[in-house]
A and B are shown apart, each in its own frame.
Chain A
Amino acid sequence: MARRVAIVGTGQTYHRSQRLDVNGRELISEAVIRCLEDCEVSIKDVDAIVIGNMDHFESINYVDAWSVEGSGGHMKPIMKVTTGGTTGTSVAIAAYYHVASGLFDRVLAIGWEKNSESDTSAAIITCSDPIWDRFSYAGAIPSLATEASAYMEQYGVTQEDAARVAVRERAHAGNNPYAHLRKPITIEDVMNSPMLAYPIKLLDVCPRTDGACAVVFAAEGVAEKIALTPAWIKSTSVRHSTTWFGDVDYNTGLVSLTRASKEAFEKTGIRESVEEIDVCELYLPYSYAGLKWIEAIGFCGPGEGPRFVSEGNTDMGGKLPVNPSGGVMSTNCIGATGLIRVAEAAIQIMGKAEKRQVPDVKTAFVTGFGGCWWSDAMVLGKKKPL
């Protein structure tokens, strides 16, 4: 039987497009120190570390060892986890597994990326199979654009519908001092931004960010002594698929997200997700995901995403605020991106979100997205799970 686990502290960097003042290790240490200070845990009391970032983004292939000056991991068990876009949520889930197993009481999870150090597209293409997919279907934006255009044709969704999501994310980012892009934008701004691959325009996609995030997971019995209000992990779910880009049915929803969400909700007894969840931190790398993928989660029916969003349900003050942090479209230090979702959800439960706080959060929902259409899901709660 797994032990109950809670998040007791979080820390992140002030995210920027390029942090020339620090190298990767120093960037990591900023988040780690902030996290340890947040929960008043000494590095000496950390039993193990899980760290992750994107392959080939900094050309460091043994990040677990290389990062010890930043992570504090000298002479501790360290494990590197890399799963593409889901890296940050995988790091969180792996840290959760460590503690839930009963082998470790306090585990430090770290996600980071020095996105400014490489060419994102050149590095990210190594996720595609080198014989079959790499030369005929390259890069993150074209595959997302293919999904978006199929979705638009299927349900009559417009570019303006998607722009509404981009506007929301940026409006929320204005409340988050850590967010990378905080300047408000309008639907016209999105519509007038350069077309990258139809229907995706520059302001429909996430930026490239230098940043890091750290989170301490602690076991039941330990967590309550560290944090006034621990953020309990109520359930996690992971659904990875194949990496054949052609095997995905672009005309159906994001199946991995549907299944991961369903399992995460079932495990913790959530039946009416919109009613029972107080806030979401969803991995939405581009605006159309903010429509189609909330349908995949089940917040609304197929094709109903645009109406659900335009009615204000996902805004601050709405029925189900999505991404009070500003989300991935405002900050995207890729290896950290999923972990920031987890940290921000925990912050909401702990009541530490200041200007971006949603009132009285009891249940928060987190997703991660990566690579060839795979998904992670996590439910966090204020009440210790039974």
Chain B
Amino acid sequence: MTNWFEDVAELTHKGQIKVPYTWSVGEVGSRFLVALRDQKRILGNRCGQCRTVFVPPRNRCGKCFGEIHEWIELGDEGIVTAHTIVRYNHPIQPTPTPFAYAIVKLDGADVGFIHIIKEDLGRLKNGVRVKARFSESRRGHILDIDSFTII
């Protein structure tokens, strides 16, 4: 047996998969995003079976599998139930650091709404009240809410 492998050059190939996507938002999600875009309103909906109020709204309850038909307008304020302040930069982050990822319990909702807080981070703690700040140019996207600000 020869030791041919001792001086072989070990190659690697760089690659990237490039798959374009066009995701269907669906009728339920589209109604939520259009209200965000055109009216700066935050809509939720309530499960007819277990009464959970969801935001973003969905057509069927993940918990009890009940159908959801009842739409509810939620406030644009809520309280922070959990958060983290991000200090490291990465291209996937929505905004330069420091900023916070926060779970916001919007008034009238039973589940948390995931969003970001950019300012006043020194005052951020769980239980603090926050308000949605809408971005100037809105396109029917979750970031039509620019961020939440501490009241």
Chain A 117-158: CB-based contact to B (< 8 A → 1; otherwise 0) = 111001100100011000000000000000000000000000
Could you tell me the distance in whole angstroms from the C-beta of A38 to the nearest C-beta in chain B?
A: 16
Interface size on B, residues (CB 8 A): 23
Measured CA separation A130–B16 after assembly (Å): 10
Query: Does residue A21 face the partner (Cβ distance < 8 Å to B)?
Result: yes
- Among B18-26, B105-113, B138-146, which stretch is in contact with chain A? B18-26
Q: Is the beta-carbon distance between A116 and B19 smaller than 8 angstroms? A: no
Chain A 62-88: CB-based contact to B (< 8 A → 1; otherwise 0) = 000000111010100000000000000
Could you tell me the distance in whole angstroms from the C-beta of B19 to the nearest C-beta in chain A?
A: 5
Measured CA separation A210–B22 after assembly (Å): 13
Q: Is the beta-carbon distance between B58 and A22 smaller than 8 angstroms? A: no
Q: Is the beta-carbon distance between A68 and B62 smaller than 8 angstroms? A: yes
Q: Is the beta-carbon distance between B60 and A26 smaller than 8 angstroms? A: yes
Most buried by A among B15, B22, B61, B65: B65
Q: Is the beta-carbon distance between A19 and B17 smaller than 8 angstroms? A: no
Chain A 263-304: CB-based contact to B (< 8 A → 1; otherwise 0) = 000000000000000000000000000000000000000000
CB under 8 Å from chain A, chain B span 1-52? 13, 15, 17-29
Chain B at the A interface: mostly helix, strand, loop or mixed?
loop
Query: Does residue A197 face the partner (Cβ distance < 8 Å to B)?
Result: no
Taking CB atoms, residues of chain B closer than 8 Å to A74 are 62-65
Measured CA separation A114–B59 after assembly (Å): 17
Chain B 44-78: CB-based contact to A (< 8 A → 1; otherwise 0) = 00000000000000111111110000000000000
Per a CB cutoff under 8 Å, which of B18, B19, B25, B65 touches A23?
A: B25
Taking CB atoms, residues of chain A closer than 8 Å to B23 are 23, 58, 114, 117
Q: Is the beta-carbon distance between A20 and B24 smaller than 8 angstroms? A: yes
> Could you show 19 A-B contacts with beta carbons less than 8 Å apart?
A20-B26, A21-B27, A22-B26, A22-B27, A23-B25, A26-B60, A58-B21, A59-B19, A59-B21, A69-B59, A69-B62, A70-B60, A74-B63, A116-B24, A117-B24, A118-B19, A118-B22, A123-B19, A130-B13
Known: A21-B26, A24-B24, A29-B60. 5 other contacts (CB 8 A): A20-B24, A23-B23, A26-B28, A72-B65, A116-B24
Residues of B within 8 A of A (CB): 13, 15, 17-29, 58-65
The 9 A-B pairs of least Cβ separation, nearest first, read: A23-B26, A69-B62, A72-B65, A122-B19, A22-B26, A43-B65, A21-B27, A123-B19, A23-B24
